Amino acid sequence: MIAREWKCRVPECHSAGFTAYLYESGIKDASSTPGFRGAQIFRRTLAHKVELTLITYWEKLQSIKAFAGNDISQARLYPEDEVYELEPDFSVQHYEVIEHQFLVEQRR
């Protein structure tokens, strides 16, 4: 499995709106691509901004190419990103996932 990491920053006032937009654009597109295995969004508060980290999980590099194009090191950005005053990283990082285990919370 391959993890693809992308980061961006937005003003605090756009954080909720951009997160919803991220679901409707990037995550929606990624999840419709064969080989997509899941996603996580992390949020961190900075001075007057919010940093968001999107990690998507993929079966193999070919799956990422189907989503991102041949140069998988480049971020896939969307036309409406500028509405949210997005400060995107233009490149992404890829990691081989060597361990992935999540505990399921038991309900009583």
The enclosing domain of 26 has a CATH number of: 3.30.70.100
Give the domain range for residue 28: 2-96
Instruction: Report yes or no on 80 lying in a domain.
Output: yes
Instruction: Report yes or no on 104 lying in a domain.
Output: no
Instruction: Report yes or no on 28 lying in a domain.
Output: yes
Q: What is the pLDDT of residues 61-76, one digit of tens each?
A: 999 999 999 999 999 9
According to the model, what pLDDT value does residue 100 have? Answer: 78
**Tally of structural domains, the chain:** 1
Q: Which residues contact 84 (CB under 8 A, 6 or more apart)?
A: 10, 11, 14, 17, 18, 21
Instruction: Report yes or no on 107 lying in a domain.
Output: no
Instruction: Report yes or no on 44 lying in a domain.
Output: yes
pLDDT of 108 strictly over 70? no
